[in-house]
Amino acid sequence: MDLGHDERARPALHGRLNAAPLAALALPLLAAAVAGGLWRAGAAPPAWQSAGLAHGPLMLSAVFGSVIALERAVALKRWWGFAAPLASALGGAALLAGWPAAGAALGVLAAVVLLAVHAALWRQQPAAHTALLVVAGALGLAAQAVFAAGGDALKLWFLFPVLTVAAERLELTRLARRPRWAAPLLFALVGALVLGAVASTALYGLALMALAAWLLVFDIARRTVRAPGLPRYIALGLLAGHAWLAVGGLAWLGIAVGCPGRDLALHAVGIGFLLGMVMAHVPVILPALTGLRLGFTGWWYGPPLLLHASLLWRFSGALHDAALGHAAALLAFVFVVATHRRRR
């Protein structure tokens, strides 16, 4: 048996590149971003204003950006890939310190490195999902550049984490029987999303709703939800997230026809879809990044339930109390993680 005829083959590292210090950087940044959210909701003291003003970039670039970049750097296993999460985290710190130009420049640097990481992953495994990662990375870079130039990058910026998630889910749909047109349809939706982000809010909202429908139809979460334990927990988190993505799309569509709903549009996607997705995957991703082993019990369901409930509450108009609910959900999640460490 030939064990080495693939020139891209590499020995799997037993004992990972320990990404724990970089993963730990995301925690204070998340705390600052949440503090900023509380300030914006009128639930925090005036001293937290700087975090409040930087809330959006902190969440999108420093928190989601550094976590995504760290996942990819660990997967690629090239030392230079770790420059992306490091630059994202330092950029967030600079924004908090009141150095917006430095924060934006570091964000651009992080996006350039992450795009190079995604391109390297595509060369390693040329496939539809790695190609979509390259697209997501390019959109992230475009959004960082617009932000650095002082423009409104939010719609474009959201596409970076949303399409990164879509790429991950597209990859896993290969395990189930899916029609030939499913992947081309997803790329058509990506085109509509980009066009919508730059030219039409209505198209952006419609395309987000269509992407949510695509995920609800083709995601293997519909299968893994039948397996007990951790797979079901992850699957339910995913399916709830996809539903929130549809709500976010509907809200953007509403904005296009003159309805108020910017808070709904941003937070259905930012909290319901993205933060829900993070909570769903932490029991798998945190061990992969840090080597920390986590056990699974029913307690894991508590924080995401609180998060989704507080989000529903937010959209009933109780912004102040709901924001406290989001923060409580995150604190409870940290507690659950801390109390579920195990040896193996």
Contact segment (CB under 8 A) with other proteins among 72-80, 185-193, 258-266, 310-318 equals 72-80
Question: How many other C-beta atoms are found inside a 10 Å radius of the C-beta of residue 227?
Answer: 12
Residue of the chain from 33, 255, 289, 327 that contacts other proteins (CB under 8 A): 289
Q: Please tell me the distance from the alpha carbon of residue 54 to that of residue 176, in angstroms, as a whole number.
A: 41
H or E element that contains 342:
strand 341-342
Residue of the chain from 124, 149, 335, 341 that contacts other proteins (CB under 8 A): 124
Contact segment (CB under 8 A) with other proteins among 205-213, 229-237, 270-278, 334-342 equals 229-237
Give least dist CB 243 to other proteins, A: 19
Contact segment (CB under 8 A) with other proteins among 70-78, 139-147, 243-251, 313-321 equals 70-78
Q: What are phi and psi of 342, to 5 degrees?
A: -145, 170
Residue of the chain from 43, 224, 250, 326 that contacts other proteins (CB under 8 A): 224
Listed in sequence order, the residues at least 6 apart from 203 whose beta carbon sits closer than 8 Å to its beta carbon are 192, 195, 196
176-195 footprint of other proteins as x/- string (CB under 8 A): xx------------------
Q: Considering the rule CB under 8 A, would residue 88 count as an interface residue with other proteins?
A: no
Q: Considering the rule CB under 8 A, would residue 343 count as an interface residue with other proteins?
A: no
At residue 15, the 3 state secondary structure works out as coil
H or E element that contains 341:
strand 341-342
Please list every residue from 130 through 159 that binds other proteins, using CB under 8 A: 130, 133
DSSP string, 170-224: HHHHTTS---TTHHHHHHHHHHHHHHHHHH-HHHHHHHHHHHHHHHHHH-THHHH
Please list every residue from 13 through 32 that binds other proteins, using CB under 8 A: 13-14, 16
Q: Considering the rule CB under 8 A, would residue 94 count as an interface residue with other proteins?
A: no
Q: Please tell me the distance from the alpha carbon of residue 239 to that of residue 242, in angstroms, as a whole number.
A: 5
Q: Please report, for residues 28, 83, 94, 95, 241, the alpha-carbon distance to residue 90 in angstroms, rounded to integers and kept in the order given.
A: 12, 10, 6, 9, 29
Q: Considering the rule CB under 8 A, would residue 344 count as an interface residue with other proteins?
A: yes
Give least dist CB 290 to other proteins, A: 10
Q: Considering the rule CB under 8 A, would residue 8 count as an interface residue with other proteins?
A: yes
Q: Judged by CB, which is closer to other proteins: 78, or 320?
A: 78
Question: How many other C-beta atoms are found inside a 10 Å radius of the C-beta of residue 173?
Answer: 20
Residue of the chain from 168, 182, 301, 321 that contacts other proteins (CB under 8 A): 168
Q: How far is CA 157 from its chain centroid?
A: 11
Q: Considering the rule CB under 8 A, would residue 227 count as an interface residue with other proteins?
A: yes
H or E element that contains 70:
helix 66-76
> 73-95: string of b/e by CB count within 10 Å (b at 16+)?
bbebeeeebbbbbbbbbbbbbbb
Residue of the chain from 28, 31, 53, 75 that contacts other proteins (CB under 8 A): 75
Contact segment (CB under 8 A) with other proteins among 106-114, 230-238, 245-253, 314-322 equals 230-238
Q: Please report, for residues 177, 219, 232, 248, 298, the alpha-carbon distance to residue 224 in angstroms, rounded to integers and kept in the order given.
A: 14, 9, 6, 25, 17
Contact segment (CB under 8 A) with other proteins among 74-82, 180-188, 239-247, 250-258 equals 74-82
Residue of the chain from 284, 324, 334, 337 that contacts other proteins (CB under 8 A): 284
**Residues of the shown chain interacting with other proteins in the complex, contacts defined by CB under 8 A:** 1, 3-6, 8-14, 16, 71-72, 74-76, 118, 121, 124-125, 127, 129-130, 133, 167-168, 171-172, 174-177, 220, 223-224, 226-227, 229-231, 234, 281, 283-285, 287-289, 291, 344
